Structures are given as C-alpha cells and as structure tokens.
Amino acid sequence: MSTVSSVSIQSEDDLLKLSTCRTYRPNHRLPDRLVEYKGGQRFWQRLSLALAFVSIILTLVVLCVSFFLWIEVSRRIADEEGDLSCPAVETEIDGIELYKNQSSPFTDLSEKEIRNIETFLHAQEWLALQSHDIAEVHSNYVHLVELLPPKKKDVLSYLDGTGPRPPRMARAFVFRGNHSDPIIEEYVVGPLPNPTTINLVETTSRKTRVPYSMRPFSSYEFKAVYKSVLPGVLKKAGKLLKESYNASMFDCGNQCLKFSLTPISSGFLEPGKRKAWFWFAYDVEFYTLHPLDFQFLVDMSLRDPRNWSVERVFYANQLFSTLDELLDKYETNLINKTRTTFPEVPAEDQYSAVYMRGKPIPSEARPPPQQIQPMGPRFQLRGNLLEYMDWKLNLRISPTVGLHLYDVKYRGERILYELSMQEIGVLYSGHSPAASMLYFADSAGLFGTRMRGMMPGVDCPEHALLQDALVYTSNTGGLKRLENSVCIFEHSPETPLRRHRAYSKSGAFYSALNDHVLVIRMYICIINYDYVFDFVLHNNGAVEVKVSSTGYLAASFYYPEEESFGTRISETVVAGLHHHLFHFKADVDVKGTSNRFHTMDIGTENKTDSWADNPTRTHVQNFFKKVEKRSEKEAVSHYNFDEPKYLLFYKNEKTELGHTPSYRLINKGMTKGMLPPGIGFEPSMSWGRQQLAVTKHKDDEMTSSSMFAIWDAQDPVVNFKKYIEDDENIVDEDLVAWVTLGMYHIPQTENVPNTATVGTTQSFFLTPFNYFREDPSLASRDAVKVMPKNPARPLEGASVDRHGLRPYFKCHSEKVDERLNSNSTFLFS
C-alpha cells in the first residue's frame, strides 16, 4: 500500500487518477494551517473542506476495496463457468485406443488379434519360424503384421447397408532366410479374431515373393554387422582409426565412433547382390554432423553373415581395392593421412548440439501467446471414428505407411475413400562413395513404426488429444505400443476463411470468419530427419495435406571436390544437396464412385476489339477451355508455368446452373525429378516423374511403393509406372489421385545444427469447386457480423452479432514435465 503526505484534488482528472487500484492514505495529522483559528466563519469553512476531503478519501478506499472484491468474485465465477482463468488442470495424456471399434472395417488390429495371428503363424510347422528374441538375419521370422483392408466395393456395400460386414483379414510378411532359396513372402491370414487360413497373396500389381537380397534393414541385420563385420575391420584398422581420428568403436570410453551406412540400390549392382558403404562418425550429438572419411564397402549378398566380406575401402580421398592394400600403404607412408581430433569442447558448446546459446530472447522470461480451448474440444473421437463440425471420418495407423484417413465425409457425403502418405524419397549428392550413392526410399524403415511420441505444447498444442498406436514388426521385437504418436486438435491459423468490410451510407457492414480447422498430425522420425505430416479439415469442405521437414542435416567429410554438391558447415564437414520427394494417395469420390477428371486450361486469345471505335484495334485476354482426360496416360500432369490449369474431379451431372459438382486439386509443392527415367535408383521412384497421376481404382494397387524400394530398382516390387502404362479408361470410373510434393534443399550454415521447417512446408488441397450452391461456412457460429445501428449514420454505433458465442479466455495445461520426470517412454521409446 502506497503512502503520500498529502492529496490535492483540483479537477475530475485528479479523481480519475485516484480511481486506480492503489489506496492512498493521507497523514493522520492534519496540517497546522487547517486548525489555526482566524475567526468562526473561516474555521468552519476549512473544517468543512477537511471533512469533505477525508470523506472523498474514505469513499475512494471503499471503492477500491469493492473493486478488488468484485475482481475476486468474478474470477471465482469465471473458474466455475470456464471464463477468464487459467486453472492448472491435471489431465491424463495417454492416448485413446483407436483399435477399440471393431465394427468398423477400417479399425486397426487389436492386441488380441495380433497375438492370435502370431500364435497361428508359429503353429505352421512348414514355416519353421523363430521367435524374435532368438532370430537372426538368416532365420525364418515374421517381419510385419498389419490389417489387410477389404475390397472397396465390399466396404461400401456394408457402409451403405446393402451388404454384410467384410471379414477382417491381416497380411503378414515372412522373412524366410533359412529357406533353401531365401525368400520374403506376403501372406493373407484370417479371418479374425481367430485365424484359420493362410495363403500366399496372389496379384499382378506387386511381387509377393521377393528376393532375400532386397529385404529392408532389420534389427537382426545390424546385430550381424556388429558381430560379423565390425570386429574384423576394427581389429585390422584399429591403429589407423586411433591415429587418424583419436577415437575407436569398442572399449572407447568417452571418445567413441558410431557407424552408419549407405545402401546401394540393385540398380547399380549385378543381379542378386546386396551391398552397402559403411562409414564412421564421432559419437556425439548429433553424429551425422561429425562424419569421418573412412568408408568401406561390404558385400552382404550371402545369407550367413559370417560369409559377408569387406571389398573396397575409401580413406583420405583415395580408393583402395582391399583393406589390406590401404593398411600396407598407410604403414609405409605411401598415402596421405587424415588427422582429426575428437570434439573436446563441452557438449553444450558443440556446433552439432542443440543447447540454448546466445543472449536469451526475449530478455524477460515471458511465455508466448497460446491458443486455448475454452469449453473443451469441439470434436469427438469414438474408437477410430472422428467427428468435427460437418466432417466425419475414420483413422487408421498402418505399420508400413503410417496414418490413413478413410471414408472422409462432409455434410454426409463421401469426399474421399482414402487419404494417405505413400513414400518419402531423399536423393543426396556428393563426391565420396557413401555420399554419391545416398539414395533413400524411407519406407524401408516402416513409416508407422517410426511415428514417435509428441511433446504437448511443442509438437502439438497443449489442448491436443494425444493417441497411441499398436504396431507389430520384428524391428520392435514384436508388438509395441507407440505412445502419443498421433495428435488431434482444433487450431486457428488466424487467417480469415472469408472477410469483407464495406463502407457507404447505405451499405456499411463487416463480416468475417476465421479459418478454424481440425488438424490430425503425425511425426515420422527416420535417422536424421523428422517429418511433420498434417491432415487438415477446413470448414468450407476443403481438405489440406501438409508436410514439413526438420531434424538434422546429413553430411560428409569435406574435400574440395564436394564444393559442387553441398555447403561447407565446418572445417572438415560439408552438408550435401538433396531432393526431398513425398507421394500421397487420394481416392477421390465426388458424389459417388463414378467420376471423371478434366482440366480447365487457361490460355490467351488475341482478337479484334469489337467494342472499340477503331474496328482494327486488337484486345488480348485470358480464357479457359475444358479438356476431358479419357485415359490414365492422358491424365498424367507435368506442371508447366506456360500452361496453367485447374485439375478437377467431378460427377457427370449438372446443377441447376449448368455446372458439374467438382473437387479441385491444388498442388502447392511442385517438384521435378531430375534423375533420368529407368537409370540407377530411379525405377524405385517412378512415381516421382509427374506431379499428378490419375488412375482407375484397383484394390490390389494399394500403395505406390513398398518397404523394398530402397534396394529394388533393378526390378521394383511395386512398379508405379505400370499403374499408368496399362492405360485404363477413367471416364465414369472410380478414380485415384496420386500426388507428388517435394523440394530441393541446399543446406545453409545458419540452419546448423538443425534443418528448419520454415520454408520447407509443402502442401496440396482438395477443395470444392461448384460443389455447393453457396459457401457452406455460412452455417458457422464462429463468424462475426457487424452492422451499423443506423445505416445512414454508420459512425454512430454498430451491433455485433456473434451468433450466440461470446469471447472466452481459458487455458488448458498438462502436467507434462512432472510426468517426464518419472516416465519419458512416450518421447524416447
């Protein structure tokens, strides 16, 4: 409480100054001049003024006390009504179990179903399966189990009430490394929950018996490398590694090496071969930014790891035919030698480590703005069925592909049967062997198993609903729960979906609607990269798919020859140019499954201006024409700035205005693949040749790629170009859009240690086009309409219509830090 010696109130402004929440306490002893006797009248005048002054002060004190009481009462009322406050609400952050709704044909396998499948497969003696705890790379074991989606027509018949519920089936990939002819086979197992049959999948759309040399990496293969390859290399080259890099791999204390590898696609090898370049890096945070220049080629073609062999070796910018040749020339000083030292600075000062450095910003520890959910979520999730505003859809987590959206409906009409990510391709460039051969099809890592837990308030808003997923692969030792691997939240990007302010004496108004959206998010973490995938539902019937790249740069040891391929980020390290490509599947159903695809091609016409006084004057303007695509080959879209066009999926029926109800595809992330078709690694990613392909739906054309794509360029397991080359009719057919996004990335030093998401986001939209008679967002209560009380005098007051809503301010905070202190499995498992 403040104390002043006197208070002078001479005007209304003085009273206003006192009406703040400070209490003024004048001295209890009145000034002598106020009690000095100068005659009766003067005495009573001064006494009256003094009493009035004291009365005013007491009144102000009462007002301030009342104000504080009013604030406290309002705060308590707000706590009860969900207004104004930020209560600390402790909420369990474990996920909702998506696999509980077994009546849905899109529901993932439950734990019981997976256990029953595992038991059933191991009971098949002819498979001779090993359990995951004792299996080796050349054993027979179950690599993957996941739901096999039923045929689309059967699902639609069931959903429409005209057919039975399709039986639940699963597909299982069995690695038969101990077979006389090592092979990988895809089986269909069912019916669930208690399977009784197993059959090899028969289809011409993909290979279901895959050569063992094309297997994706597994935990067993890495164990074999540690057991059968690295000890021999380290035994021979240990002295070279210690002298060159001041580190070793085993018994190394705090100066250790970490190995990684570059797989070589079969497109560069003779048939049946499986090889990879191995390379070392310093084992610090983060190792890909500390590569060294010792690389060796390993032939892993034979099924028994004890027979794997080291072939060529790269060291100090020189290639040697054998490890022995390198060591002989090293010992006799016939070659250049590399000399680097293990990073000696504290971890928090290493350029590759993420610690706060520099002058803190902001200077005061003030939190950033937060979006809030004042009265709880406006969406519902029951099992895997998600409802939001006019949207309804089903979620599924596939171990191979990750997050799927199925049966996506808006206002009761199916817009999409399926929406999912298919493949991530990363094509690096470089000088050294490992850098120049670094072509990744990340599906080898099984996207669904690479989904990881999210940090509330960072990876997702604090109010997001976090969910778990169940996956079964050999890489996870069988069944594993991925905690907090999907999050759902409503979000306002604070960009109006629509907005207008008009002003005139007869027509002033303001109308606006912020674009509140529902976001379904997953993160996929693969080696050095974290990918953020958002599936976004807008309130005008549009669907948006976004992907951003973040994480760490991949790098190589610096030589002058690397200058054309990357950016030097330290004295000995260069980060390479790379091309990111993402492929998506959108099974579009516009008012049913009988659709067409056409473009509206925008051109320029030059004609005589018939409205001009001078009949010879010409006029140039744009126009468009509709071009219907009748076959899959015609429907391939290669973006060309000289030929802008709209891409439209539509039902061949007319509205009362003569339009065809359509959904427009807008690609905001065009990229062009530069690898020559059919050469080297490129056949594994033939889907990247165009920005859009449209094909007739076929149940067996499930995906555009496979987990074998990192190796299989010589003879792709899934050859996407064949989806187009059979050139099916696409007029009045069930159509699927295959969308390619991507970008080239030349690293920059200011992005070290991390690559940033800013500028890396790619997206595409499916948005209604002549689909609705008027904007469906007109039904949204989130809109605001402001009208003048008197249209003739719009500046003299206006009425605000919030359609029954009022501003709320309430925070929702999770006790995340406390949980992490004792249990961090959802982030690091």
Residues annotated as catalytic are: 442, 529
Q: Are 433 and 278 in contact (CB under 8 A)?
A: no
The conformation of residue 75, written as its DSSP 8-state character, comes to H
Q: Are 372 and 809 in contact (CB under 8 A)?
A: yes
b/e per residue, 50-62, with b = 16+ CB within 10 A?
Answer: eeebeeebeebee
Q: Are 287 and 281 in contact (CB under 8 A)?
A: yes
Q: Token match 């935990």: residue? A: 219
Task: Report CA 194 to chain centroid distance, whole Å.
Answer: 35
Q: Is the peptide bond before 362 cis (omega within 30 degrees of 0)?
A: yes
- In what order do the strands lie in the sheet containing 798-801? 496-502, 509-514, 784-788, 798-801
The DSSP line for 283-320 is: SSTTGGGSEEEEEEEEE--SSSGGG-EEEEEEETTEEE
Angle ∠(336,338,341) on CA atoms, nearest 5: 160
- Amino acid in position 243: E
| 3-class state of residue 686 by DSSP | helix
Q: Token match 């509205």: residue? A: 655
Backbone angles phi, psi at 368, to 5 degrees: -75, 170
Residues 6+ apart with CB under 8 A from 83: 77, 374, 808, 809, 810
Q: Are 137 and 308 in contact (CB under 8 A)?
A: no
Q: Are 511 and 496 in contact (CB under 8 A)?
A: no
What region, left, alpha or beta, does residue 563 occupy, with left being phi > 0 and alpha being psi -120 to 50 degrees? alpha
The DSSP line for 592-660 is: SS-BEEEEEEEEEEEEE-TTSSSTT-EEEEEEEEEEEE-BTTTT-B---TTS-EEEEEE-S---TTS--
Paired residues of 473 in beta bridges: 144, 478
Distance CA 558, CA 566 (A): 10
Distance CA 764, CA 744 (A): 17
Other C-beta atoms lying within 10 Å of the C-beta of residue 783: 21
- Please report which residue ranges of 82-91 form alpha helices under DSSP H: none
Q: Are 151 and 699 in contact (CB under 8 A)?
A: yes
Looking only at the bridges linking them, the beta strands covering 318-320 and 309-315 are antiparallel
Question: Which H/E stretch holds residue 40?
Answer: helix 40-81
Comparing CA positions, the residue from 552, 545, 543 lying closest to residue 403 is 545
- Amino acid in position 98: L
**Token pair listed for 384:** 């895997």
- Burial of residue 368, with CB atoms counted within 10 A of its CB: 0-12 exposed, 13-18 middle, 19 or more buried: exposed
Question: Which H/E stretch holds residue 524?
Answer: strand 517-526
Between the CA of residue 504 and those of 161, 499, 783, 794, what are the distances in Å?
55, 17, 22, 8
Using the Cα atoms of residue 487, residue 488, residue 491 and residue 496 in order, give the sign of their dihedral.
positive
Other C-beta atoms lying within 10 Å of the C-beta of residue 176: 20
Q: Token match 């140039």: residue? A: 620
Distance CA 61, CA 487 (A): 51
**Token pair listed for 295:** 């690389």
